A and B are shown apart, each in its own frame.
Chain A
Amino acid sequence: MRWLRANLFSNWPNTIATLVIVWLAWKLLVPFFDWALVEAIWVASDTQTCRAAKGTGACWALIHEKHRFMLFGTYPFELQWRPLLVILILLALYVTSALRSCWRPWLAVAWMVGLAAIGILMWGGVLGLRYVENERWGGLALTLLLATFGIALAFPLAILLALGRRSELPVLRALCVLYIELIRGVPLISLLFMASVMLPLFLPEGMSIDKLLRAQIAMTLFAAAYLAEVVRGGLQAVPRGQLEAAQALGLPYWRTTWLVVLPQALRISIPPLVNTFIGFFKDTSLVLIIGLFDLLTTVKVSIGEPQWVGFGVEAYIFVSVVYFVFCYAMSRYSQNLELELARGAARGGVR
């Protein structure tokens, strides 16, 4: 009661706002839940049932019917356990990387083994697995692969760019600044277009790379520029004394950087890095525009089929939920980590 009075009815404007919100919620949320849950059709053998309920109940049967396509794209049906396993491996890697107690050298080894296993599972061709060309990869598996490999490949490049931008060598610095500002100044779509129509022109005759790899290259180059700026922020936050102490010990540039500066800089920049990862994960959906079958594309194609036309709202709510789960988990994690690291710093521990 006291809580209600303090937080909802403390004065007249507040009371009015509360009442308006409650009224709106009543008018909007109740019909929405009615539509989304109560009247919804979860499983249907044909679309007639869904058509009959259109307007009163949601047709989640669409998701039920199409979930294999949305998760794995056009991967051969009987081999779909392979991308499923890939998704599970990736999730396991994400979770272990998030636990601070796992931040040990073996984590890097785990990643390498995991990524190698993923490559073997997706392509096949060895160990008695059938070869699957990567035009047939798709769905959630492709989205996760694009995001994971994009970040994994962009990260080393980003560190080099950030170091270059902070370098005392003017030519090197100018090159890095030019690259970073050029990439950050243009929309990702123009880079994807560039990768899909211009990259083939750049290559010597007779050599060609497939669409997936071209998109991956564009995404990586894009991510590297943004990550570089985050890493640069971390580098700037390392106290100058650290650098000077390392130099006083006689450490050369690379060992100073590798042993003293980078570990501290990266630690500081983990929360903003995770935020950049979120943005990048969302941006992978843009590969739809150049015709890759990621999660969003498979959903869009599903509702393009004649029998499912008209159920776009359900389909896009479903995709939104999938993206939301991943991004929200990451953003909560980064917030918690930030608090934790700040607490460590306040105690005077390692920053």
Chain B
Amino acid sequence: MQILRSGRSRALLFQFLALAAVLGALAYLVHNTMANLETRKIASGFAFLAREAGFEIGESPFLAYSAADHYGRALLVGLLNTIRVAVVGIVLATVLGTLVGLARLSSNWLLARLASIYVEVIRNVPLLVQLFFWYVVITENLPGPRDAANPLPNVFLSNRGIAMPGVEPHPLYGWLLITFIAGLIVAGLVARWARARQARSGQPFASFWVGCGIALGLPLAVFLVAGAPLQLDAPQLSGFNFEGGVVLTPEYATLLIGLVTYTAAFIGEIVRAGILAVQRGQFEAANALGLSRRLTLRLVVLPQALRVIIPPLTSQYLNLTKNSSLAVAIGYPDLVSIANTSINQNGQAIEGIAIIMAVYLSVSLSISAFMNWYNQRLALVER
């Protein structure tokens, strides 16, 4: 009894009991599961990944896939489809969200009200409802491909999705990307040199514009020297659907529109809060120093606002990625939906769900790792 009175041994005992309880519960569940798998004759292990999947996938723009391919490839297609909607969605949601946030701060009463109505409506309705709504709007209320709406030249809205012109692929484009990245690196070096020189001699250098010139000018020069091989591929109506160009299926378009409008409402609030968090005195101090409006924004307002904005922004990116799993409800073949199909076919629920969770967890954990790194970097800047 004496031992129980001492705080340290009691703490050890508590922890031991907690750990034992958790491990015991886990062992019990594993035992039950093994027994159940045995009686239901469900195989276990990941061997099924190498077996033939036997189902078609609606869209697989990056990877050739047919029903004869194996499960592993099907899941990979799903993962690529998730990434495809998440990356495009994150870019568009950031743009739209920033616009919404700025509009809410606008001095124009009508614009600010409009933006706040948008935010309130979108934030207070479940994403799943919005996805169904957009899906119904696209598939039931848009005209058929024959009399598709044509808001811009060569852009067609129909119940078969959105068709728009695309750029015909050309071997040069890979090189353009490489020169662009090389240009970015050179621009970074120039900016570094300019900063060092300014610190040493006080002479400013327009490194931003020079950097832009290098990063964009290099690829442009290569492009022009190679004879500017640009071929636009416009969608053409053939039979009952469009061919050529870029065709977004109704499912992809729905998911993209739903995710972008939903996340943009949240990002808008984050941007607004970030800008409001910069104190008025900071603007005034920058003015008093004689900084121009552009320099005030770049050197004073943005760094401080970004410090408030970036952490919640990354968690919104994470939310968008996780929310893309709602694709299963409208039939877009993302990772979750394909894993679900494979579970329904072969009954290997544990493996299927383990794959889903492992993928999302690794994305989440790498984003949190980035966040920690970023926060630490900012903490150094703070006074």
Binding site for B on A (CB under 8 A): 7-8, 10, 14, 17-18, 21-22, 168-172, 175, 181-182, 184-190, 193-194, 197-198, 200-205, 278, 282-283, 285-286, 288-289, 296, 300, 310, 312-313, 316-317, 319-320, 323-324, 327-328, 331
Contacts of A197 in B (CB 8 A): 343, 349, 353
- Do residues A189 and B328 form an inter-chain contact, with CB atoms below 8 A? yes
Once the chains are docked, how many angstroms separate the CA of A186 from the CA of B363?
Answer: 9
Once the chains are docked, how many angstroms separate the CA of A281 from the CA of B336?
Answer: 22
- Do residues B110 and A18 form an inter-chain contact, with CB atoms below 8 A? yes
Most buried by A among B33, B129, B356: B129
- Do residues B349 and A198 form an inter-chain contact, with CB atoms below 8 A? yes
Among the listed A14, A17, A18, A283, which residue makes an inter-chain contact with B126, where contact means beta carbons less than 8 Å apart?
A: A283
6 closest A-B pairs by beta carbon, nearest first, are A312-B136, A185-B364, A7-B109, A327-B124, A171-B15, A282-B126
- Do residues A205 and B129 form an inter-chain contact, with CB atoms below 8 A? no
Type the 1/0 row for B138-155, where 1 means its CB is closer than 8 Å to any CB of A: 001100000000000000
Contacts of A316 in B (CB 8 A): 129, 132-133, 136
A325 to chain B, nearest CB (A): 9
Once the chains are docked, how many angstroms separate the CA of A10 from the CA of B37?
Answer: 72
In the complex, B329 has a CB within 8 A of chain A: yes
A308 to chain B, nearest CB (A): 12
Beyond A182-B361, A198-B353, A289-B328, list 14 extra A-B contacts (CB 8 Å). Answer: A10-B107, A21-B110, A171-B18, A175-B19, A175-B22, A181-B368, A184-B364, A187-B323, A193-B349, A201-B33, A202-B29, A202-B33, A323-B125, A324-B125
Contacts of B343 in A (CB 8 A): 193, 197
A98 to chain B, nearest CB (A): 17
- Do residues A205 and B110 form an inter-chain contact, with CB atoms below 8 A? no
24 A-B pairs whose Cβ atoms sit less than 8 Å apart in the complex: A8-B110, A17-B108, A18-B111, A169-B15, A170-B15, A181-B364, A189-B328, A189-B336, A190-B325, A193-B356, A204-B32, A204-B35, A205-B35, A282-B124, A285-B128, A289-B328, A296-B128, A313-B141, A316-B133, A317-B133, A319-B129, A323-B129, A327-B124, A328-B120
Among the listed B14, B124, B136, which residue makes an inter-chain contact with A323, where contact means beta carbons less than 8 Å apart?
A: B124
Contacts of A288 in B (CB 8 A): 128, 329
Contacts of A202 in B (CB 8 A): 29, 32-33, 36
A173 to chain B, nearest CB (A): 9
Q: Closest residue of chain A to B135, judged by CB?
A: A312
Q: Closest residue of chain A to B120, judged by CB?
A: A328
- Do residues B364 and A324 form an inter-chain contact, with CB atoms below 8 A? no
- Do residues B336 and A320 form an inter-chain contact, with CB atoms below 8 A? no
In the complex, B88 has a CB within 8 A of chain A: no
Once the chains are docked, how many angstroms separate the CA of A88 from the CA of B85?
Answer: 41
Once the chains are docked, how many angstroms separate the CA of A304 from the CA of B360?
Answer: 33
Q: Closest residue of chain B to A314, judged by CB?
A: B136
Once the chains are docked, how many angstroms separate the CA of A7 from the CA of B109?
Answer: 5
Whether A18 contacts B133 in the complex (CB less than 8 A), given A175-B18, A184-B364, A205-B39, comes out as: no
- Do residues A300 and B132 form an inter-chain contact, with CB atoms below 8 A? yes
Among the listed B32, B36, B124, B140, which residue makes an inter-chain contact with A331, where contact means beta carbons less than 8 Å apart?
A: B124
Once the chains are docked, how many angstroms separate the CA of A7 from the CA of B141?
Answer: 37
Whether A201 contacts B125 in the complex (CB less than 8 A), given A17-B110, A288-B329, comes out as: no
In the complex, B295 has a CB within 8 A of chain A: no
- Do residues A205 and B133 form an inter-chain contact, with CB atoms below 8 A? no
Binding site for A on B (CB under 8 A): 11, 14-16, 18-19, 22, 29, 32-33, 35-37, 39, 106-111, 114, 120-121, 123-130, 132-133, 136-137, 140-141, 322-323, 325-326, 328-329, 336, 340, 343, 349-350, 353, 356-357, 360-361, 364-365, 368
Once the chains are docked, how many angstroms separate the CA of A201 from the CA of B35?
Answer: 9
Contacts of A189 in B (CB 8 A): 325-326, 328, 336
Q: Closest residue of chain B to A171, judged by CB?
A: B15
- Do residues A185 and B39 form an inter-chain contact, with CB atoms below 8 A? no
- Do residues B107 and A190 form an inter-chain contact, with CB atoms below 8 A? no
Once the chains are docked, how many angstroms separate the CA of A328 from the CA of B124?
Answer: 6
Q: Closest residue of chain B to A309, judged by CB?
A: B140
Contacts of B108 in A (CB 8 A): 7-8, 10, 14, 17-18
Contacts of B127 in A (CB 8 A): 282
B265 to chain A, nearest CB (A): 12
A155 to chain B, nearest CB (A): 21
Once the chains are docked, how many angstroms separate the CA of A328 from the CA of B15?
Answer: 43
Most buried by B among A18, A189, A319: A189
- Do residues A327 and B125 form an inter-chain contact, with CB atoms below 8 A? yes
Once the chains are docked, how many angstroms separate the CA of A328 from the CA of B132?
Answer: 21
Once the chains are docked, how many angstroms separate the CA of A112 from the CA of B83?
Answer: 46
Q: Closest residue of chain A to B329, judged by CB?
A: A289
Once the chains are docked, how many angstroms separate the CA of A205 from the CA of B353?
Answer: 22
Whether A323 contacts B126 in the complex (CB less than 8 A), given A8-B110, A288-B329, A328-B120, comes out as: yes
Q: Closest residue of chain B to A176, judged by CB?
A: B18
- Do residues B336 and A17 form an inter-chain contact, with CB atoms below 8 A? no
Once the chains are docked, how many angstroms separate the CA of A269 from the CA of B336?
Answer: 34
Once the chains are docked, how many angstroms separate the CA of A43 from the CA of B32?
Answer: 55
Contacts of A172 in B (CB 8 A): 14-15, 18
B277 to chain A, nearest CB (A): 16
Once the chains are docked, how many angstroms separate the CA of A339 from the CA of B322?
Answer: 32
Q: Closest residue of chain B to A204, judged by CB?
A: B32
Whether A7 contacts B107 in the complex (CB less than 8 A), given A186-B357, A316-B129, comes out as: yes
Whether A201 contacts B36 in the complex (CB less than 8 A), given A18-B108, A189-B328, A282-B127, comes out as: yes
Whether A201 contacts B136 in the complex (CB less than 8 A), given A8-B110, A169-B15, A171-B15, comes out as: no
Q: Closest residue of chain A to B134, judged by CB?
A: A316
Most buried by A among B14, B126, B325: B126
A178 to chain B, nearest CB (A): 9
Among the listed B14, B29, B329, which residue makes an inter-chain contact with A169, where contact means beta carbons less than 8 Å apart?
A: B14
Whether A187 contacts B360 in the complex (CB less than 8 A), given A172-B15, A312-B136, A320-B129, comes out as: yes
A329 to chain B, nearest CB (A): 9
- Do residues B364 and A190 form an inter-chain contact, with CB atoms below 8 A? no
B12 to chain A, nearest CB (A): 9
Contacts of B322 in A (CB 8 A): 186-188
- Do residues B109 and A201 form an inter-chain contact, with CB atoms below 8 A? no
Whether A312 contacts B132 in the complex (CB less than 8 A), given A169-B15, A172-B18, comes out as: yes
